[in-house]
Amino acid sequence: MRVLSGIQPTGRFHWGNYFGAIKQYIDFQEAHDGYYFIADLHALTTIRDPLVLRGYVKDAALDLLALGLDPERATLFVQSDVPEVSQLCWLLMTGAPLGLLERCHAYKDKTSKGLRADVGLFTYPVLMSADILAYDSNWVPVGEDQVQHIEVCRDLARSFNSHYGEVFTMPEAKIVPGAAKVPGTDGEKMSKSYNNTLGLFEEPKELRKKIMRISTDSRPMEDAKDPETDHLFQLYRLFASTEQIEELRAIYLKGGFGYGEVKKRLADVSDTYLQPARVRRAELESNPALVADILSKGAAKARERARSVLLRAERACGLKAT
């Protein structure tokens, strides 16, 4: 299968990005043809400082490689290094119904708050559709918040295909049930825009302090508690082994424990889990030429594929001599 996904360089990556998406990229790279990119064009809809954007793109590449994305198995590249995607975006835009885009949550959330949205945010799902369709992608590993955009992509592909013939491969979202909506420090969905994130590469002591400040309910210690509805338990489960999970589940069901103890366990288990990636990241950081080379080879490979899909789409709609 061809697997494709993108991630925006709009800040440092957090646990939600990893368990909802990045971990899937890494798991899929073993047996599938993975294309993973840093969505800098999408990031332009929020970041308008060139130095900041460049820094985040560099961080994103280092983070993905340190977490285990292997350039020998998967193709890693920067979105804007494949201009064919923007060209394909235009072809899709000509057939994209306004109503479909008006229903998309990023745009709707902003305008419902009375904020003015720009055209880039409005057409964001069309660019995302071009990202997916440009590589004949079958599977798109994402968190729950991106499923609507993949539905838009499928709608656009379906209508293009029914008008012009079978041009695009129909993609499918891939979600991990227990990690599609990782909670943040306040129990809501972890998100850069909610300021409730736990960073993958935060300084370990700071991270531990943040974990100790995660909000909890105020039920008495003695009460038995349902682990399935508790966000601390949900976070713990992402990092822990089956035995560790079962042990903590039993403690919840029995009652008579303090959340401070659970937080300490979460801090320990996440620290052990993240430590090897911290070491790898430091090594990669000292070798910027290697990272630049990985991205440039990745872009060359991605471009080749996108070029052939673009030509197919252009010919189908009457551009370019056949």
Catalytic residue numbers, as ranges? 110, 189, 192
Report how far residue 159's alpha carbon sits from residue 156's, in angstroms, rounded to the nearest whole number.
Answer: 5
Exactly one of 40, 59, 84, 131 binds ligand TYM (CB under 6 A); that residue is 131
Helices assigned H by DSSP within the chain: 15-17, 23-29, 40-43, 50-67, 84-93, 98-102, 105-112, 119-122, 124-133, 147-164, 204-212, 231-239, 242-254, 259-285, 288-316
Q: Quick one: which of 12, 27, 58, 49 has its CA closest to 200?
A: 12
Work out how close the CB of 251 gets to ligand TYM at its nearest, in angstroms, rounded to a whole number: 25
- The CB-nearest residue to ligand TYM is 20
Residue of 128, 156, 248, 251 interacting with ligand TYM (CB under 6 A): 128
Q: Total binding residues for ligand TYM by CB under 6 A?
A: 26
Binding mask 189-208 toward ligand TYM (x if CB under 6 A, else -) reads: xxx-----------------
Q: How far is the CB of 221 from ligand TYM (least distance, A)?
A: 29
Closer residue to ligand TYM (CB): 104 or 294: 104
- What is the full DSSP assignment across 72-136? TTSEEEEGGG-THHHHHHHHHHTT--HHHHHT-HHHHHHHHTTPPPPHHHHTHHHHHHHHHHTTT
CA 172 to chain centroid, in Å, comes to 15
Residue list 162-181, contact with ligand TYM (CB under 6 A): 179-181
Interface region with ligand TYM, contact rule CB under 6 A, candidates 46-54, 141-149, 208-216, 242-250: 141-149
> Which residues of the shown chain bind ligand TYM in the complex (CB under 6 A)?
5-8, 16-17, 20-21, 39, 42, 128, 131-132, 140, 142-143, 145-146, 149, 179-182, 189-191
